[in-house]
Amino acid sequence: MSTTPLAINASVVSLLQCPICHHHLNSHEATFACESCQAIFPIVDGIPVLINESNSLFSLNDFIHHRTTTFQDTKFSSIKNRIKSLLPTLGRNIKGPENYQKLIDHLLEQAPSPVILIIGGGIIGEGMEILTKDSRIQLVETDVSFAPRTQMICDGHDLPFGDQSFDCVIIQAVLEHVVDPYRCVAEIHRVLKLDGLVYAETPFMQQVHMGCYDFTRFTHLGHRRLFRYFRELERGAVCGPGMALAWAYRDFLLSFCEHPRIRQFVYYFSSFTSFFLKYFDSHIINSPGTLDAASGYYFMGRRSEKPICDREIIQLYRGLQKT
């Protein structure tokens, strides 16, 4: 803990509440303290750590002692990491940049200076650069690790903010890594203003990544049901079957070997022999068949008090499989 200036400004501090009992937090030199349940939350290197330990995979001590959680610093200081940085990537977020521009347009129609909460915002998600360059938008970037852009440590299961605090919440490639995605989406709903927007990207056909912090996948309709308390603005595939095939090919080859050096070689080999598959996705990303086999899906919606019912959800199927 230190006396480094807070990474969040006064306007964000005013939105904070205890993640345990949801009461007001008082700010002290190196801590936040709940005036109701008396819980103490540390400020580490200027970053508030506001998690409910009883409902989180992580403890306050993980952050006080700078233990590695979900993010590992990938500064390319070693030969191995330098080589890895030169590898072609297997993934390609085709719809992200276009979707984030649409999101900005929607937001600026309802608020001149929207405030966006980013869950898992310790690093810039693919396509999100446009958000960081728009001076009209305030980003509150949270994570469960000390990553380059982390302003606050908080767990999506118990967001430390008051009801109806944000104009928008973004959660990109995070919901597969939480224990209870339904609880996290309920928290998103709670902290959004009445006409607030949500934008989510979540994988479907992807192998395990981030090791023990990988729990769940969603089909197209499963993803829509996850956001049943939101009125849909747009949804679809964000990464296509080409990317899914490349990931499957790589992990198929990796499944034959356990020795770290052999796995490293196979990882490099598979990257160079399958990266091109992602380029096919540009031609099929909007096709009905892609909805049955996409690497991942997106959902953009507006907060609603009335859920979509399951009978309505199954009517939304737009893939090519007939029952």
CATH topology of domain 79-314: Rossmann fold (3.40.50)
Interval 40-49 mean pLDDT = 97
Q: Would you state the pLDDT for residue 2?
A: 54
**pLDDT higher than threshold 70 for residue 189:** yes
Q: Would you state the pLDDT for residue 132?
A: 95
Residue with the larger pLDDT of the pair 119 and 1: 119
Give the chain's end-to-end CA distance (angstroms, integer): 58
**pLDDT higher than threshold 60 for residue 73:** no
**Could you tell me what percent of the chain has a pLDDT over 90?**
91
Report the distance separating Cα 204 and Cα 291, nearest Å. Answer: 10
Q: Would you state the pLDDT for residue 77?
A: 47
Q: Would you state the pLDDT for residue 94?
A: 95
Per-chain mean pLDDT for the chain: 94
Q: Would you state the pLDDT for residue 1?
A: 47
Q: Would you state the pLDDT for residue 323?
A: 75
Residue 213, CA atoms < 13 Å, CB-side half-sphere: 15
Residue with the larger pLDDT of the pair 132 and 84: 132
Report the distance separating Cα 182 and Cα 229, nearest Å. Answer: 11
* Residue 80 banded pLDDT, cuts 50, 70, 90: low
Beta bridge partners of 198: 169, 301
**pLDDT higher than threshold 80 for residue 298:** yes
Q: What is the pLDDT of residues 225-245, one digit of tens each?
A: 999 999 999 999 999 999 999
Interval 132-144 mean pLDDT = 97
Minimum mean pLDDT range among 83-87, 150-154, 259-263: 83-87
Residue with the larger pLDDT of the pair 79 and 143: 143
**pLDDT higher than threshold 50 for residue 12:** yes
Report the distance separating Cα 219 and Cα 321, nearest Å. Answer: 13
For CATH 3.40.50.150, list the domain ranges present in the chain: 79-314
Q: Would you state the pLDDT for residue 76?
A: 41
H-helix segments, 157-309: 181-191, 220-226, 241-254, 260-274, 281-284, 290-293
The reply to whether the predicted model has a pTM over 0.85 is yes
Q: What is the pLDDT of residues 140-176, one digit of tens each?
A: 999 999 999 999 999 999 999 999 999 999 999 999 9
Report the distance separating Cα 125 and Cα 81, nearest Å. Answer: 20
